Structure 1
Amino acid sequence: MKLYALPSPFEIEAGTVLMLEPEWARAGELRAQLLDESYPKPFVIDDGESRYLYFNVRLMQSQMSLKAPHDLALRYTQKMMGFLLFHPRPRRIVQIGLGGGSLVKFCYRRLPGVHITAVELDPDVIALREAFSVPPDDERLNILCADGAEFISTTEKGIDAVLLDAFDRNGYAPALASRDFFAQIYAKLSGSGVLVVNLAGDKETYAGVIGRIMEVFDDQVIVISVPDDGNHILYAFKERHFEPRWRWLNNHAKELRARLGLDFPAFVHKMERASKLNYAQREALRGR
């Protein structure tokens, strides 16, 4: 698909804006809509080194390095892969919220034994998949235009990891914040399955989410911060009587770093510290 291109009208985000518009679209009208945030579709900014997905210029959704399009450019996406410390060889992953496809591409390329289903509500986000080098569907990858909650309610059990990274132009998607939704995820996870949630934007948009997940997962939850990106990453574990073996995980993290190139030892350190400080419980109380 050929995208409509115009010079970025933004003072800070320089480069070229790529848009899902016909070639006869009026540049002046599009520029005005971008600036007053009335433009209704997602768009891409290409600065020559990276491509960024935006719903509006205040909330960047994804980043892809043009030199390394299959790497995880943002720290929060790297830390979402921390679930591999507890489930190192998943067979089935479901991602809710496609974005620029960073997690999908990484899992597809670096975890050859896994089947990935990505569920995205907005067809315009899916329409930008080629701009972010997301591979075509095949026997290992399926990208669906569907409601994430409806998909979870109807899909088969046995998911090893659910990666929840779903946002609209206002922040965390409110339709994916209910206790019933998290209970459905719990029911569909495998016995050692993990839910991973990216929490970003204004905290008011995801207030109460941590507490609801803790209730469903019997407090078997770890939350870490990602200061560089202003995010929090939540891991919830279905395994009964979950008890992390931190010394073993530190050794295991070194093996994962060698295999996948991410700083898993640093992930373990943050998780252990957050767990001992009861960070998830404190954040849950703040969300009440």
Structure 2
Amino acid sequence: MSTPGRPYVRRGWWYTTLHFQGAVTQSRMLTLWPDVLQVGYTRSMMGGLLLRPGPREIGIVGLGGGSQAKFCYRHLPQAGIEAFEIDPDVLALRRAFRIPDDDARFRTVLGDAARLLRQRRDRYDLLLVDAYDPQGIPAALSSAAFYADCRDALAEGGVVACNLYATDVKRHLARMRRAFAGNVLAVHEPRMSNVVAFGWRGELRQVSQEEALARLPRAARRQLSGVFARVAAALARRPAHPH
């Protein structure tokens, strides 16, 4: 029996899932293939690799079941990865989701990313924000100040990707546009209610879809080819002067 509000794991032949309460799934892993990005929006967030290919430093806000942490660890060997998780009970479940142990490339941090990002100015080439509690996106990760801290934590040309689900998307996008001087792109996830919002600091280092895919191992290319096409199409539709 799980304690209401506390995270728990359900294991099945096909899926291993993370829950906070009831039937709401916070993270889902293919039990036999733990490095696969099984949920569509997690792949869409990795569309940031089209906007900022070859990142050297990656930050993750909200470790959860570690889907993107595992993907980055396996397929982006050049990158250092730092993942923030505020809930010690979630972090304690890392072995259930086969999240790698901390090492020279991968580091988990138990703490409040809304506070800790302020200590990491100019650090990340790619920042992935997907943090929820039982009530949704925490207020501390919804504020204009938080998005400004995300911007400041990026290196020049760095990109943040935010998962927006069950929230006021227009309010989040407005705050992101202020923080990133209009450098924001919203991509709706097909067949899901999620919107993935990208913001970038300075000039994009975008390359062609073909070049971005060529930098990735074959297993990663299979997962991201469609994502890169959707992100490129959304970028092409973006107004030249979005301010």
Residue 175 of structure 1: how far off its partner (Å): 1.1
Provide Cα deviations, 1:217-265, integer angstroms capped at 9, x if missing partner: 111111111133321111111123x596xxx523325425664234444
Quick check: 225-234 or 75-84, which moved more?
Answer: 225-234
Distance of 2:192 and 2:94 partners within structure 1 = 23
Distance of 1:85 and 1:176 partners within structure 2 = 25
Instruction: Report SS of the residue matched to 1:214.
Output: helix
Aligned to 1:5: none
CA change 1:57–1:101 in 2 (3 A) is: same
**Counterpart residue identity of residue 104, structure 2:** E
Distance of 1:258 and 1:154 partners within structure 2 = 33
Aligned to 2:210: 251
Q: Which residue of the other structure, out of 18, 24, 41, is the alignment partner of 1:59?
A: 24
Aligned to 2:167: 203
Aligned to 1:47: 12
**Counterpart residue identity of residue 188, structure 1:** A
TM-score, normalization: structure 1? Answer: 0.76
**Structure with max Cα Rg:** 1
Which structure has more RCO (C-alpha within 8 Å, separation ≥ 6)? Answer: 2
CA RMSD between the two structures: 2.3
Aligned to 2:226: 266
Quick check: 53-62 or 250-259, which moved more?
Answer: 250-259
The answer (yes or no) to whether the contact 2:158–2:201 under 8 Å persists in 1 is yes
The answer (yes or no) to whether the contact 2:12–2:31 under 8 Å persists in 1 is no
The runs of 5 or more residues in structure 1 that have no matched partner are: 1-29, 283-288
Aligned to 2:78: 113
Does residue 122 (structure 1) correspond to residue 87 (structure 2)? The answer is yes
The runs of 5 or more residues in structure 2 that have no matched partner are: none
The answer (yes or no) to whether the contact 1:79–1:233 under 8 Å persists in 2 is yes
Provide Cα deviations, 1:202-228, integer angstroms capped at 9, x if missing partner: 234x55111100111111111111133
TM-score, normalization: structure 2? Answer: 0.89
Provide Cα deviations, 1:181-221, integer angstroms capped at 9, x if missing partner: 11122112111100110111x234x5511110011111111
**Counterpart residue identity of residue 160, structure 1:** D
The answer (yes or no) to whether the contact 1:253–1:265 under 8 Å persists in 2 is no
Distance of 2:195 and 2:90 partners within structure 1 = 23
Quick check: 57-66 or 186-195, which moved more?
Answer: 57-66
Instruction: Report SS of the residue matched to 1:169.
Output: coil
CA change 1:59–1:277 in 2 (3 A) is: farther
Aligned-pair identity in percent equals 31
Q: Which residue of the other structure, out of 33, 41, 51, is the alignment partner of 1:68?
A: 33
Residue 278 of structure 1: how far off its partner (Å): 4.8
Q: Which residue of the other structure, out of 120, 126, 129, is the alignment partner of 1:164?
A: 129
Provide Cα deviations, 1:45-95, integer angstroms capped at 9, x if missing partner: 112211011112343111111111111111111111111112221111110
